[in-house]
């Protein structure tokens, strides 16, 4: 068993008790029991930490919508830059700050920080992308994003209606801090 | 230094009594619709807390407003039934958009683990987000010292476990994290003779310990 980290999809179901439930896709069927899930608000995405066997890891990453982080979190993105950028951008996570010299551990902090800026309903629907401007969002969406950012302690200085969601989310990157997940310092 | 503010309550009663009648500091929460029609009683025959029908019910303890908080007790896990503890539980009016309802730790014998949920109400729909899981929970097993602890606000630091496993931790930095609310007990799909919770304690995790004898001695020595 080993603690591994992933970007993984979330799914919404109605469970056997009639409850609306959001959960990480795949892991229940694989019998993975020790998990830590940082969800991206109501987007169908999470940062997953899990204690897995090699077989569970292989089965989990066999799914195209699961992206694993390497065992060595201090290794840098290096030659995987294009792949990493594509993996982030396709999940509505700005990859602007990722370079060949970015350690995965730092990138994980950025992702968790960005995940704290969310809205009650999925933001990236109806044609909304990272490059949609704040002025194109509804007033309620803007207020929710601002409240979430301020609650997390991130600056919103300099953001205007012409700023993009990408620019707003990147405000979190500079404030991302260390934390411990399943005993691993990230 | 944490200070115990309630319990341990063995729920010793002469006749079955609803929990909120047994002690007015316990308040039933969550909408009173069909899925949450259960009533929790202190039971005379067993001196513990049990639900009265196959449904669900949550009660929060309102004896003192708490931010940093821990609730613990002894519970029986059973397949198909779900005993658990809440932290930072707030009642919902049953329609308020995105109202944070708090955290729930369930000892799930069917799934064979302890599951942590963040309960919110986006768009007026009660939603359970699975945010952490750990441990092993057996059908018919009793767990003493089962607990859920919530401290801090950004992130919210959750700790959970029991006398046989843990502590397990999770830091919640989601925008919907629960920063206020009270500890509570939860029964879900409980049959009258199935799961139970007993010996409940509530702790104030932000309490400032009273000045003790060492200080008094030092002051006396200085005065002398």
pLDDT digits (tens, 9 = 90+) for A155-181: 888 999 999 999 999 988 877 788 899
pLDDT over 90 at B120, yes or no? no
| Least confident piece of the model among A38-47, B5-14, B159-168 | A38-47
Give me the pLDDT at residue B34, please.
62
Q: Where are the alpha helices (DSSP H) in A39-138?
A: 54-61, 81-89, 104-115
pLDDT over 90 at B113, yes or no? yes
With an 8 Å Cβ cutoff, are A35 and B97 in contact? no
Q: Which residue of B has its CA nearest to A51?
A: B134
pLDDT over 50 at B98, yes or no? no
Radius of gyration of chain B (CA): 18
Q: Which residue of B has its CA nearest to A29?
A: B111
Q: How confident is the model at residue B213 (pLDDT cuts 50, 70, 90)?
A: low
pLDDT over 70 at B139, yes or no? yes
Cα–Cα distance, B22 to A33 (Å, whole number): 37
Q: Closest Cα of chain B to A158: distance in Å?
A: 21
Tell me the per-residue pLDDT of B165-183, one tens digit each, with 9 for 90 and over: 999 999 999 988 999 999 9
Give the closest of A19, A39, A121 to B131, CB-based: A39
DSSP B211: P
Q: Which of B129, B153, B159, B170 to mutate to probe the A interface, most A CBs <10 Å?
A: B129
Q: Which residue of B has its CA nearest to A119?
A: B175
ipTM over 0.90: yes
Cα–Cα distance, A58 to A120 (Å, whole number): 33
Q: Closest Cα of chain B to A95: distance in Å?
A: 20
Tell me the per-residue pLDDT of B152-166, one tens digit each, with 9 for 90 and over: 999 999 999 999 999
| Residue B117 in tokens | 């949920």
Task: Enter the pTM of the model.
Answer: 0.92
Q: Closest Cα of chain B to A145: distance in Å?
A: 9
Tell me the per-residue pLDDT of B23-76, one tens digit each, with 9 for 90 and over: 999 988 866 566 667 889 999 999 999 988 777 888 999 999 999 999 999 999
| Residue A142 in tokens | 């803007």
More confidently predicted of A61 and B221: A61
Q: What is the largest CA-CA distance in chain B?
A: 69
Q: Which of B101, B176, B188, B191 to mutate to probe the A interface, most A CBs <10 Å?
A: B176
**Element (DSSP H or E) covering residue B215:** helix B213-223
């Amino acid at each position: 068993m080993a603690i591994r980290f992933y970007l993984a999809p979330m799914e919404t179901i109605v469970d056997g008790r009639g409850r609306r439930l959001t959960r990480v896709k795949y892991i229940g069927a694989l019998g993975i029991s020790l998990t830590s899930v940082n969800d991206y608000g109501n987007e169908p995405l999470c940062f997953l930490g899990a204690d897995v066997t090699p077989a569970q890891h292989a089965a989990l990453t066999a799914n195209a919508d699961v992206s694993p982080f390497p065992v060595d979190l201090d290794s840098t993105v290096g030659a995987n830059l294009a792949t990493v950028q594509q993996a982030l951008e396709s999940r509505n996570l700005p990859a602007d700050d990722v370079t060949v010299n970015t350690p995965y551990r730092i990138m994980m902090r950025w992702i968790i920080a960005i995940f704290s800026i969310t809205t009650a309903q999925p933001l990236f629907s109806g044609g909304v992308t990272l490059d949609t401007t704040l002025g194109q969002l509804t007033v309620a969406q803007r207020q929710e994003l601002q409240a979430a950012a301020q609650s997390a302690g991130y600056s919103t200085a300099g953001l205007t209606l012409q700023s993009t969601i990408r620019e707003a989310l990147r405000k979190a990157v500079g404030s991302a801090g260390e934390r411990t997940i399943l005993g691993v310092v990230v | 230094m944490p200070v115990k503010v309630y319990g341990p309550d063995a729920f010793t009663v002469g006749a079955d009594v609803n929990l909120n009648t047994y002690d007015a500091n316990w308040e039933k929460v969550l909408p009173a619709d069909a899925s949450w029609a259960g009533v929790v009683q202190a039971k005379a025959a067993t001196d513990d807390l049990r639900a009265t029908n196959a449904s669900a019910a949550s009660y929060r303890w309102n004896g003192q407003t708490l931010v940093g908080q821990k609730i613990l007790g002894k519970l029986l896990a059973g397949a198909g039934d779900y005993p658990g503890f809440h932290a930072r539980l707030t009642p919902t009016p049953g329609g308020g958009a995105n109202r944070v309802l708090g955290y729930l730790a369930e000892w799930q014998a069917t799934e064979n683990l302890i599951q942590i949920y963040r309960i919110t109400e986006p768009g007026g729909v009660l939603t359970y987000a699975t945010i952490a899981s750990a441990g092993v929970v057996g059908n018919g097993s009793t767990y003493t010292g089962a607990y859920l602890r919530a401290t801090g606000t950004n992130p919210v630091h959750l700790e959970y476990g029991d006398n046989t496993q843990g502590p397990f931790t999770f830091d919640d930095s989601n925008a919907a994290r629960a920063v206020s609310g009270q500890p509570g007990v939860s029964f879900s799909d409980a049959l009258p003779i199935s799961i139970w919770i007993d010996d409940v304690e509530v702790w104030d995790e932000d309490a400032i310990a009273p000045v003790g004898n060492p200080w008094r001695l030092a002051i006396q020595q200085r005065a002398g």
